[in-house]
Structure 1
Amino acid sequence: MSGSLRNGSLWTGSLWLAWRQQRVLVGICAAVLAAAAAIAAYYRSGMLGDLRSGLFDHCDRGPIYCTASDTGTPLLLDIEPLQYLGVLNIVLPVIIGVFWGAPLLGRDLELGTHRTVLAQGVSRGQWFASRFALAAVTTMAVSGALAAVFAWWWRPAADRSYGLFWYENAALSGSGPRVVAAALFGLAVGTLLGLLARRVLAAMGLTLLVTGAVTLVLEWTHRTRLLVPPHTYTSAGSIPKEPMGEKWSAGNYGLITVSGRRDDVMNCPFPSSAQLRECMAEHGYVARFYEANRAGDYWIFQWTDTAVLGGLALLLTAVTVLLLRRRV
């Protein structure tokens, strides 16, 4: 019984110390979240007011800009602040990794204060778990809340010519469950590098490089459709092709022969007309095609990124746990 109480007391003390060390960061996260929610409420209210005014009632869904009937100028909602929130969510793993993950173990190791804690009977596992658990729970809560704020703010303007389409960076990478997985990945990277470098500034620099590089690589996979291939849409030249609408074009258009060979669309650069049909018949083309990701692929992108980033976060955390005995 006494051993159990002592162990519980050690856990309580370790958690209390973790809270003391991280409470400023928790407070900053709460302040950022409150500010984001307040800004979202203000601008979303203005957005709804503009939509209720009737100014956009004649606008169709799709990528073609809707214009004012009197001036011909494009009609757009004020989505710039929303895009800023999306950018914040995209760089969140870098911020969390650099300013929270890197010092999480690195500061104690650099100053040697971990020896005092371990001398009180706290195990390496307890020392790590108490710090990482608090940081991870706060990271999940804040990143999840920021993603939810973005989704709530974005919904009235989603996939509209006057708003923000699902495949734009701010929406595709700044919303959904990937934001949470990315934030945890940043925390895991910083924590591991803090353990390895044992110097906070060095760990922060390395974390910046790693998290920044992974963020850029994932953005590259979106643009190249490496992980989520586009769909191919075909149509005969005698009828109009299916409109792009909310799809995300891969930039690949062309013509298809009987053998299945794909040629450049400029071989028959005509709209759906007699000229197009004549040109296709002359060159042996049986159909046109274009490649694009449909709007439903948003969730495929989301869960693919979440799996990649979440898997890396789990792997890096496991490596950190395995290295504790050697590095501490």
Structure 2
Amino acid sequence: MNSSLWHGSLWLAWRQQRVLAGVGAAVLAAAAAIAAYYRSGMLDALRSGLFDHCDPGPVSCTRSDTGVPLLLDIQPLQYLGALNIALPVIIGVFWGAPLLGRDRELGTHRMVLTQGVSRGQWFASRFALAAATAVTLSGLLAGVFAWWWRPAADRSYGLFWYETTALSGSGPRVVAAALFGLAAGTLLGLLARRVLAAMGLTLLVTGAMTLVLEWTHKTRLLVPPHIYTSAGSVPKLPMGEKWSAGHYGLITASGRRDDVMNCPFPSGAQLKDCMDRNGYVARFYEANPAGDYWAFQWTDTAVLGGLALLLTAVTVLLLRRRI
């Protein structure tokens, strides 16, 4: 195919997608403006000295005069994280599903294909433009979140790395999720006979995938927690920025792990005596350290990116049969 036909196909793709691209640019501009405003207020609050006595760990910090908890205004930041989590659903439903499905439903693709444009070029021009826009939009939104979040990251008065809006609403997984949503919507738009049907199916698929990944985070299915041990005679060290898996207990010399309620005493003589009587040599708990933020990120990115590639390949293979 010559360059003029390719450029013409790209131009047509841009005309069809420019409204959505404009909406994405407006959302990004609004997010950046809101982030700049609230981040400035966050920095002013931190510079005021009100939080200077607060420990950096998870123990809540309170005002010394009233005992009222001290918290930064992070709710708008969490809203941006929620938007980033919802991106694959939004992009899949409103961009991916109509990408090929609209032309198929209206039959306008036949006119394009009679102009010397191959099926592959017709698909590539539309999908490449949509993918480039999705990557740019999601990457910049993830960057805005990270920039806004940094002053309040992993503080008792801010937002910890393992909270859903931070863990799933930031980093490279946001970009991979956006591409997955686009690929899923595009494939379903090709398979379904009506765009509305494709949009409904895309909503179910991308929403289910989002929930499945959140479930893997909670259960630590893909990123197992670390095991930390401590003697029962002294208090264990604070967890700090670790994300507890909710599993606590006692360990025998043979390595058997039992329920913590077998010796339900705080650190001290009672706990030590109970442990000695029952043959326990240490306590344990399971948690993910702060460094596992990147393990979760790259695992999600690999899963979502791999699925996006697979769905795109299936779409290409089905083009000849469906168009």
Q: What does the per-residue CA deviation read over 1:211-255, in whole Å, with 9 as the maximum and x for residues that have no partner?
A: 000000000000000000000000111222222100000000011
Name 2:159's counterpart in structure 1.
164
Alignment partner of 1:85 out of 80, 83, 88: 80
Question: In 2, Cα distance between the equivalents of 1:268 and 1:70?
Answer: 38
Could you list the runs of 5+ residues in structure 2 that have no partner in the other structure?
Answer: none
Question: In 2, Cα distance between the equivalents of 1:249 and 1:110?
Answer: 50
Alignment partner of 2:42 out of 32, 38, 47: 47
Name 1:3's counterpart in structure 2.
none
Name 2:141's counterpart in structure 1.
146
Question: In 2, Cα distance between the equivalents of 1:314 and 1:260?
Answer: 43
Question: In 2, Cα distance between the equivalents of 1:270 and 1:244?
Answer: 19
Question: In 2, Cα distance between the equivalents of 1:183 and 1:146?
Answer: 11
Alignment partner of 1:19 out of 10, 14, 17: 14
Name 1:317's counterpart in structure 2.
312
- Which runs of structure 1 show a deviation greater than 6 angstroms over 4 or more consecutive aligned residues? none
TM-score, with length taken from structure 1: 0.97
Distance apart, 1:299 and its partner CA: 0.1
SS in 1 for 2:2: helix
Question: In 2, Cα distance between the equivalents of 1:264 and 1:219?
Answer: 27
Please show how residues 237-316 of structure 1 align to structure 2 within 5 Å: 237-316=232-311
Name 1:96's counterpart in structure 2.
91
Q: What does the per-residue CA deviation read over 1:72-110, in whole Å, with 9 as the maximum and x for residues that have no partner?
A: 111000000000000000010000000000000000000
Question: In 1, Cα distance between the equivalents of 2:105 and 2:172?
Answer: 34
Distance apart, 1:198 and its partner CA: 3.0
Question: In 1, Cα distance between the equivalents of 2:110 and 2:127?
Answer: 18
Question: In 1, Cα distance between the equivalents of 2:258 and 2:318?
Answer: 55
Alignment partner of 2:189 out of 181, 194, 216: 194
Name 2:222's counterpart in structure 1.
227
Distance apart, 1:170 and its partner CA: 0.3
Question: In 1, Cα distance between the equivalents of 2:79 and 2:266?
Answer: 39
Instruction: Answer whether contact 1:107 1:198 (CA < 8 A) is retained.
Output: no
Q: Does 1:206 align with 2:201?
A: yes
Question: In 2, Cα distance between the equivalents of 1:320 and 1:93?
Answer: 18
Please identify, of 315-324 and 256-265, the stretch whose mean Cα deviation from structure 2 is larger.
256-265
Q: What does the per-residue CA deviation read over 1:154-213, in whole Å, with 9 as the maximum and x for residues that have no partner?
A: 000000000000000000000000000000000000000000003100100000000000
Could you list the runs of 5+ residues in structure 1 that have no partner in the other structure?
Answer: 1-5
Name 2:180's counterpart in structure 1.
185
SS in 2 for 1:165: coil
Question: In 2, Cα distance between the equivalents of 1:12 and 1:258?
Answer: 72
Question: In 2, Cα distance between the equivalents of 1:129 and 1:284?
Answer: 66
Alignment partner of 2:125 out of 107, 119, 130: 130
Q: Structure 2 counterpart of 1:94, which letter?
A: V
Please show how residues 62-81 of structure 1 align to structure 2 within 5 Å: 62-81=57-76
How many pairs does the alignment contain? 323
Question: In 1, Cα distance between the equivalents of 2:196 and 2:317?
Answer: 23
Instruction: Answer whether contact 1:233 1:242 (CA < 8 A) is retained.
Output: no
Identical-residue share of aligned pairs (%) = 86
Q: Does 1:326 align with 2:321?
A: yes
Q: Structure 1 counterpart of 2:186, which letter?
A: T
Q: Structure 1 counterpart of 2:180, which letter?
A: F
Name 1:216's counterpart in structure 2.
211
